[in-house]
Structure 1
Amino acid sequence: MKSPATAGFFARSSLVASQPQIPSAAASCGPGAGVSSRRQTGLSLNMHIRAGYSMKFLLSVSRLIDAVSELIGKLAMWLILAATLISAGNAIVRKIFNTSSNGLLEIQWYLFAAVFMLGAGFAFLRNAHVRIDFVSSKFSARGRNWVDAFGILVFLFPLCYAMVTLGFPLFERAWTTGEMSSNSGGLIRWPVYGLIPLGFALLFAQGISELIKRFAFLTGNGPDVLAHEGPSDEELLAQQLLEEEEQERLKQEQQLKGAN
């Protein structure tokens, strides 16, 4: 027969044993678990820091490419003036003195080719190239940037690579052989042939810069360069044409009123 004290002790022991055991915070978060958690946090922070430095470096490369494209684009603008002056001078000489030069005629389209090829990267930088935005304009800002990145990777880069690869041998052969124009008094051919690989190489470089800027926006490290802060050149031109048409209509109405 158990004493009352012994019976109370056994009752308390069975009550404690029947209660669910809750692991303590110290047991579940021992020294090993704390070190592992801190290590994972440190690795994650280190990866974020490295990604930030990598994007900063890529954006600095993009700014350098943009500066080169800007400089070449501004130089190409002066080629337009040169081509205009040569064309006008050649026409005046032909009308007054009844003479001309095949060299002057060819230099005009040499300069036109230089403007077109060397200015392609500049046009891409200024987002002034022809776009078909009837689909992408309905997308969000992220959607437009993804479409642009896809187009650069899938279409622009392969095209530039193919043109540089195919155009350089043409330039090299003309350089080696000293190929001349078949026209009397014509020019050498290698400068205009050299514009093909050079122009597409510059366009390829600008494509790299634009791709960096697209991914910078998509990762939250840069602005949306595709955002339109105001009306485009085409919209301004259309507005100007509409205004001129309206002025012409009003002028005709006033003339009809005066005649009556």
Structure 2
Amino acid sequence: MSALLKLSGLIDRINLLVGKLTMWLVLGAVLISAGNAIVRKVFNMSSNALLEIQWYLFAAVFMLGVGYTLLHNAHVRIDFISSRLSKRTNAIIDVLGIIAFIIPLSLILINLSWPLFYKAYVSGEMSQNAGGLVRWPVYLLMPVGFSILLVQSVSELIKRVAFLAGHRSEPFTFNEEKSEEQKLAEELAREAEQVQLKAK
């Protein structure tokens, strides 16, 4: 289990780096979008290439950031239910979900998207828009993104199993922190309870 936890730690570090680098793509997309809008309004010029690179960057943020999201336990959950369950029960649900859904889905989508990328790469497929971009880089995001998800899901599986076996105190690497608004709401609720108790 020690070797598997080291592997999990390595995967986590890689996806942490990929996630942080991916955040810069958001800035790139915003700057290109703003620049494109300014050029269009001021000089009455437009570029399909600049428009398409925005879409590429937007797609890259989601596809390359998926492992980072899973690492931070920030994926969609039914919080109303999961918050009422124990860590152990949630870990068991996660193990079943990873094995039954995430890993098979990732493998299927890698298998389906790789030929799409390869065909576009070999043929040199271009955008149908005038001055548009070559298509294979955006197609490559699909198998790469699902590979990232697959590898991170293996890391999460290792951590959940290690937690269930008593080798870790927590099932997650990062626990979701409460926002300032949530903390304030909880504090106000506690104060309201104290006022009610004093009134009685």
Q: Give the TM-score normalised by the residue count of structure 2.
A: 0.87
Gaps of 5+ in 1: 1-54, 243-260
Instruction: Assess if the C-alpha contact under 8 Å between 1:167 and 1:197 holds in 2.
Output: yes
Change (3 A) 1:196 1:241: farther
Instruction: Assess if the C-alpha contact under 8 Å between 2:22 and 2:65 holds in 1.
Output: yes
- Larger of the two Rg values belongs to structure: 1
Please tell me whether residue 215 in structure 1 is matched to residue 169 in structure 2.
Answer: no
Please tell me whether residue 59 in structure 1 is matched to residue 2 in structure 2.
Answer: no
Instruction: Give the superposition deviation at 1:133.
Output: 2.6
2:49 alignment counterpart = 103
**What is the alpha-carbon distance in structure 1 between the residues aligned to residue 48 and residue 88 of structure 2?**
52
Matches within 5 A, 1:76-95: 76-95=22-41
2:17 alignment counterpart = 71
Paired amino acid for 1:155: F
**What is the alpha-carbon distance in structure 1 between the residues aligned to residue 184 and residue 60 of structure 2?**
30
Q: Deviations over 1:185-223 (max 9, x none)?
A: 000000000000000000000000000000110011012
**What is the alpha-carbon distance in structure 1 between the residues aligned to residue 176 and residue 123 of structure 2?**
52
Instruction: Give the superposition deviation at 1:68.
Output: 0.8
Of 62, 70, 80, 1:134 maps to: 80
Paired amino acid for 2:88: R
Paired amino acid for 2:42: I
Instruction: Assess if the C-alpha contact under 8 Å between 2:72 and 2:175 holds in 1.
Output: no
**What is the alpha-carbon distance in structure 1 between the residues aligned to residue 183 and residue 82 of structure 2?**
26
1:112 alignment counterpart = 58
Change (3 A) 1:240 1:104: farther
Instruction: Give the superposition deviation at 1:141.
Output: 1.5
1:191 alignment counterpart = 137
DSSP 3-state at the match of 1:183: coil
Instruction: Assess if the C-alpha contact under 8 Å between 1:136 and 1:147 holds in 2.
Output: no
**What is the alpha-carbon distance in structure 2 between the residues aligned to residue 92 and residue 63 of structure 1?**
44
Please tell me whether residue 176 in structure 1 is matched to residue 144 in structure 2.
Answer: no
**What is the alpha-carbon distance in structure 2 between the residues aligned to residue 72 and residue 211 of structure 1?**
20
Q: Give the TM-score normalised by the residue count of structure 1.
A: 0.67
Q: Deviations over 1:67-115 (max 9, x none)?
A: 1101110110010000000000000000000001000000001000001
| Cα RMSD, aligned residues only | 2.0
Q: Deviations over 1:111-143 (max 9, x none)?
A: 000010000000100111221132232222211
1:163 alignment counterpart = 109
**What is the alpha-carbon distance in structure 2 between the residues aligned to residue 231 and residue 71 of structure 1?**
20
- Counting matched residue pairs gives 185
Please tell me whether residue 148 in structure 1 is matched to residue 94 in structure 2.
Answer: yes
Paired amino acid for 1:172: Y
Instruction: Give the superposition deviation at 1:157.
Output: 0.7
Instruction: Give the superposition deviation at 1:156.
Output: 0.5
Change (3 A) 1:126 1:229: closer
Paired amino acid for 2:124: G
**What is the alpha-carbon distance in structure 1 between the residues aligned to residue 61 and residue 122 of structure 2?**
25
Paired amino acid for 2:76: V
Q: Deviations over 1:44-83 (max 9, x none)?
A: xxxxxxxxxxx00000000110011011101100100000
**What is the alpha-carbon distance in structure 2 between the residues aligned to residue 95 and residue 180 of structure 1?**
27
Taking CA–CA contacts closer than 8 Å with sequence separation of 6 or more, which of the two structures ends up with the larger relative contact order? 2
Instruction: Give the superposition deviation at 1:184.
Output: 0.1
